[in-house]
Structure 1
């Protein structure tokens, strides 16, 4: 419709802009940004939004209506940091467009569509009519996974809801056979979070002109998660967290990012799941679909030769001075969804990104984004850091026995494990509070021709020769351990299963060395060696080994970390020529139950009272006991110290918090002590008026 034909006024009076209404409520709903606790308008690129311009008189035939959007410090149309639009002509400018969609007297509605490749960040908006310029408040422009032309477009609505809008979830931890979900509050819409995330993308980290590219933005945000790059979080694996918060205590990204934003100082302390949690928050806030991913039995190959070499003495004890490679019980990183315009079309989709400061990549601690398709195929030359992530999920494990002879040390290869690295790669399921296994997205089935082909391809690209022939055995062909956990306070019981190729009576020496370790394999205490000689005859034999709880119970508080029992078991035929097998032992602790009683509903701004109870079933006192509650429905975490709980005693008490937000809210109640970690309960509560 020709707007000019609707106007019959005296246009001799100079036109002035009285008000520009950004229609925050309507635009926020349309752009899926209404949950942001932000006074400014938050928009997604490539999608129309409307603003209402109120003039002192109707718009005349000769009156121009211009809009100017500016971001960054060096403003120029050629740099795409300045966009100027004429709403009267509706011409495209840098793929942006503004049109007058409605005129009602002196009120003019303008429809603006930003480019799907626009720079992401804060924009200053000015509206000019005649000789009068009206400066509006700043607006935020984010990536848009709802826009088909955006490089982060995700076609499935349920996945967009999960990977962009869901502000709570789970991060998976434990060991391969005992996986547990740690509830995590991402809170990407909370106060200061969006401002914090954009403030991290400083010019010395990323050029303003690269702020349109999700590859560059995600890599830069990954960089700024670590204080090693003058970023958010201080990594600490020492076990001493007296100068900050122990990593296992965190259950939310929100207080970490809010503290960093207000203090401009790195936050103490984090480990891999915390780095992953805050990176998920930061990238979801910017509109990039992101998930936290856990790789169990994650290799850290320090020699870059696609193998993890572990050296044992004759008791099965790891020789630390020789074992330079390590295997973490688990390692948590992120996947981000995007189109890779810097790579060929096969590498679009999920990309691995790791904010934990482990390796230097282009002079900074960071890793990725690396395409999962390239990792799966062994294309380790593809950007960025695909080689490192490939070895984390695909390396072969070699177990060597070191025998001391009168002349020298003798190295005997007793196991080649091609299926023990990169297990049960996990993330939260879409739309469900359940774990989903995504190992198939990272690698072909273990032992398949495609998987071996990927290993060979990676080896060729790295000029490494993969030729590790398993030792030839006449008798044994397999050893395994049945147990994967131990109830805290109970004896350690291991059932060793030996499988043979023949039926004959043999004497077998079994040696099992056990340590108390952190999840990264750091030895905290040596628990001892169990040795047993047995006679076996059948094709399959079970041998039970035991160790008293006293071996570990007093070492639980040595470090302020959650600990596991790890070690190796070796079985050798007596009098044979190195007829032996070995396997790793990995046991996680099962903790005492923790109970809460919390109502299903509560009222906003009214105390929510709930009851906590816990019994110490251990033979030792629990010290430094704390209970905490955290939720997006309350203003901050509430913590209560309870001191010491003697053996066999119970504790029951009430806590309260005040909900400040309407709607359903997940509450995470956590129990910690120096000896017992990671005991939590969850409850969904509906907050009403």
Structure 2
């Protein structure tokens, strides 16, 4: 009689992907499972039936040079701290036994090989090889990334699209982003990122061992998203010259970036800025099974000397000056990852700040975190990693200084401006969630409005300036809209019982979110007479023709300086704001009955609200809705006219998906829009 041999091993891919909530990775050739939960394989034997009294099955699991051997037993009791394998008692076919393989909840993340061998009484052995990819498991209570609410697991691990918040706290902009974690090639790119990291290249065995820790993994990924110290994914560029690559604001999702990086042999993709770095890191962490969300900090301080003070300089006429190494970014974007922190003791579990944007070195490389959010709020500067740096980003004081001929003539101190709003996308809804209170003890309550207009605080910038003799308040009348005049009000108060003759200096400067402004594009100077204790209100406008040349993704720094002509006393107030662009409208026909693998139509509409004709290129993308990006050229469109473009959808994945469109106009302005679409099986 022919002896027993293994003919084939069936990885039961469909069943395991369903059980491990990894169905989105079905385009990958490898079986993708989560640690801490068993997965089933079926062995096709030939020659004769398996006899448990005389035959045995053993499995060798390998991750690089690491390996573990385990016998296949009949006990279903899986030890959470070690690898085990057992027969499925319901798999009664002796020529086709099923085996459950269980990994520890702390197993290392990576691409595993396994060898299954059958040993017979005669001493003959027969083997078969297989592979699987093991990820973290936020559904397993013993995993360090366990998050106890299903809606949060759906949002922070499974959701493949989201919103990035940008602009200013006064006029917040929601930018759609496709995380693309289930798109072809993305899983492989994320796993390859771990393989080409300096940690793995330097000591592969130690790296594989350390991959059991989400804190370790997240720190490696934080460094690998930028390319400053390694073969990382993205090259940062804040120069304004993007001719050698893609302008950061043109990216709409992570998939294109990660695939380009992998296909180029790990050459850095050009170019990224903070929201691109953060969004790509969010994709990688969600792929690896670590809950992750993108966070925006408005008025984010970059404190280079660690004194928790940011100094900003203005000329005597209100022009903001590019002095000093410290800076305040109108917004800065990082990520938070959810994990326990046994290395820090009790109380530091939960959300951890990680920032892949290369700003300062940590441990010798450009990365940041994981810094527990609780440690930042409670000023635990002694804890790993980078808590003091993140604390300064949300809590530094601002000293605004007026200079004349190199001499300080006035100083304003503001303890509320930095970290004026910290937010992320709400769970399950396309709107803002205010999480400022997680980072700092809030002195004055703020009110969350909608995803298009956010928290408004009198201290969002230096709106109010005062001294012994004068007070000035600057307020932009409403959220500025491109194509409309920007109206603002200046309230001037004489606080003394003597008349004053005051010079009023006004100017507006264009600026990028993380830079000092360029030269003024608009200014106005006048003289004002104030009676004793008088209050005067001045109203001004900046017309569209005066600001249209500096639109694009720029912000505007508006400042007013009052100069007492008699006493030389000066006060300053300033406001930084962004212009709201018109939005693309997206309409999906029969939106309540979008069926998997059935064609559907969407229509993208743009109305020209500008005062001049515009033309441009429309790009439409939708992970799980259309296979690839599609582009259309829009001919010149006159003011007030409307253009429409029909898009064919062919949904390939069930769930809530994002259809997004962006129109790049000839005047360097980008118009965006998005629509959430629910895809059903039938």
- Pick the TM interval, shorter chain: 0.7 to 0.9
CA 1:307–1:674: 2 relative to 1, 3 Å: farther
Match of 1:680 in 2: 672
1:477 Cα deviation from its structure 2 partner: 5.4
Please list the CA deviations of residues 211-253 of structure 1 after superposition, one character each: whole Å capped at 9, or x if unmatched: 1111110111111111223211121222222332221111111
CA change 1:593–1:159 in 2 (3 A) is closer
Quick one: which of 38, 43, 48 aligns to 2:33? 43
| Cα separation, 1, equivalents of 2:356 and 2:288 | 16
Pairing 1:20-419 to 2, within 5 Å after superposition:
20-36=9-25, 37-56=27-46, 57-72=49-64, 74=65, 81-88=66-73, 95-102=82-89, 103-106=91-94, 107-130=96-119, 131-202=124-195, 204-206=198-200, 207-228=207-228, 229-264=230-265, 265-320=267-322, 322-404=323-405, 409-419=406-416
1:603-639, Cα deviation, whole Å (9 max, x unpaired):
777765544443433344535x111100011111111
With 355-364 and 566-575 compared, the bigger mean Cα shift is at 566-575
- Contact 1:628 1:639 (C-alpha < 8 Å) held by counterparts: yes
Whether contact under 8 Å (1:479, 1:581) holds in the other structure is no
- Residue 513 of structure 1 is matched in structure 2 by 507
Q: Distance in 2 between matches of 1:588 and 1:530?
A: 20
After TM superposition, the structure 1 stretch with the greater mean CA deviation from structure 2, 649-658 or 516-525, is: 649-658
Q: Which 5+ residue runs of structure 1 have no aligned equivalent?
A: 1-11, 75-80, 449-469
- Cα drift, residue 21 of structure 1: 2.2
Q: Measure how far apart 1:539 and its partner are.
A: 7.2
Q: What is the deviation of 1:301?
A: 1.9
CA contact (8 A) 1:68 1:127 kept: yes
Deviation, 1:521, is: 2.5
Q: CA deviation at 1:283?
A: 0.3
Shift of 1:649: 6.1
Residues 603 and 348 (structure 1), Cα distance of their counterparts in 2 relative to 1, 3 Å cut: closer
Structure 1 stretch 49-58 or stretch 530-539: which is displaced more?
530-539
Residues 540, 431 of structure 1: alpha-carbon distance in 2 compared, 3 angstrom cutoff: farther
The whole-number CA distance in structure 2 between the counterparts of 1:50 and 1:364 is 41
CA deviation digits over 1:633-682, x for unaligned, max 9? 11111112235545x26352434345251545321111122435342222
Q: 2 CA distance for matches of 1:43 and 1:663? A: 20
Kindly indicate whether the alpha-carbon contact (under 8 Å) linking 2:320 and 2:517 is maintained by their aligned counterparts in 1. Answer: no
CA separation of 1:480/1:524 partners in 2, compared to 1, >3 Å: closer, same or farther? closer
| Cα-Cα RMSD | 2.7
2:441 pairs, out of 438, 444, 467, with 444
Which ranges of structure 2 fall in alignment gaps of 5 or more residues? 201-206, 446-463
Shift of 1:372: 0.8
Pick aligned residue for 2:620 from 615, 625, 629: 629
Distance in 2 of aligned mates of 1:35 and 1:673: 35
Alpha-carbon shift at residue 503 of structure 1 (Å): 7.0
Question: Deviation digits for residues 83-134 of structure 1, max 9, x if unmatched?
Answer: 2111227596961222223141313222222111111111101111114343
Query: Given that residues 483 and 587 in structure 1 are in contact (C-alpha distance below 8 angstroms), is that contact kept between their aligned partners in structure 2?
Result: no
Q: Does residue 551 of structure 1 match 2:546?
A: yes
Moved more, 86-95 or 225-234: 86-95
Give the SS at the match of 1:323.
coil
1:62–1:30 distance in 2 versus 1, CA, 3 Å: same
How do 1:457-476 and structure 2 match up within 5 A? 473-476=467-470
Count of residues in correspondence between the two structures? 638
| CA spacing shift, 1:380–1:471, aligned 2, 3 Å | farther
* Separation (CA, whole Å) in 2 of partners of 1:186 and 1:315: 45
Contact 1:607 1:658 in 2 (8 A): yes
Structure 1: distance between partners of 2:539 and 2:63: 68
Partner Cα separation in structure 1 for residue 411 and residue 315 of structure 2:
12
Say whether 1:570 aligns with 2:537: no
Aligned counterpart, 1:5:
none
The corresponding residue for 1:528 is 522
Normalising to structure 2: TM-score of the pair? Answer: 0.87
SS in 2 for 1:42: strand
How far residue 18 of structure 1 moved from its aligned partner, in angstroms, is 2.5
C-alpha deviations, 1:42-88, integer Å up to 9, x for none? 1111112222223231333021111111012x2xxxxxx21211122
The alpha-carbon deviation at position 276 of structure 1 amounts to 0.9
- Aligned residues of 2:466 and 2:472 also touching (Cα < 8 A): no
Label 1:540 to 1:108 Cα distance change in 2 as closer, same or farther (>3 A). Answer: farther
Once the two structures are superposed, what CA deviation does each residue of 1:477-520 show, in whole Å capped at 9, x if it has no partner?
56332336323233332212346756765443322221011111
1:154-185 deviations in Å (ceiling 9; x for gaps): 11221111111111111101111111211111
Q: Which residue of 2 aligns with 1:430?
A: 427
- 1:212 partner SS: coil
- Please give the alpha-carbon distance, in whole angstroms, between the structure 2 residues aligned to 1:645 and 1:281: 37
Aligned to 1:456: none
TM score, norm. by length of structure 1 = 0.86
- Please tell me whether the aligned partners of residues 613 and 650 of structure 1 are also in contact (alpha carbons under 8 angstroms): no
In 2 relative to 1, CA 113–501 (structure 1 residues): closer, same or farther, beyond 3 Å? farther
- Provide the rounded CA distance (Å) in 2 between the counterparts of 1:380 and 1:498: 42
Contact 2:487 2:541 in 1 (8 A): yes
* 2:233/2:268 contact within 8 Å kept: yes
Deviates more, 1:201-210 or 1:331-340: 201-210
Q: Is the 8 A contact 1:85 1:93 kept in 2?
A: no
Q: Deviations over 1:326-365 (max 9, x none)?
A: 2111111100111112212222111110111222222322
SS at match of 2:503: strand
Q: Distance in 2 between matches of 1:134 and 1:93?
A: 27
Question: What's 1:583 paired with?
Answer: 573
Match of 1:600 in 2: 590
Q: In the aligned structure 2, how far is the partner of 1:472 from the partner of 1:273?
A: 36
| Whole-angstrom CA distance in 1 between matches of 2:60 and 2:18 | 24
The answer (yes or no) to whether the contact 1:530–1:546 under 8 Å persists in 2 is: no
CA distance in 2, matches of 1:584, 1:472: 12
Q: Does 1:614 align with 2:601?
A: no
Work out the CA distance in 2 between the residues paired with 1:170 and 1:426.
Answer: 11
Mapped partners of 2:586, 2:145: distance in 1: 41
Tell me, what secondary structure is at the counterpart of 2:507? strand
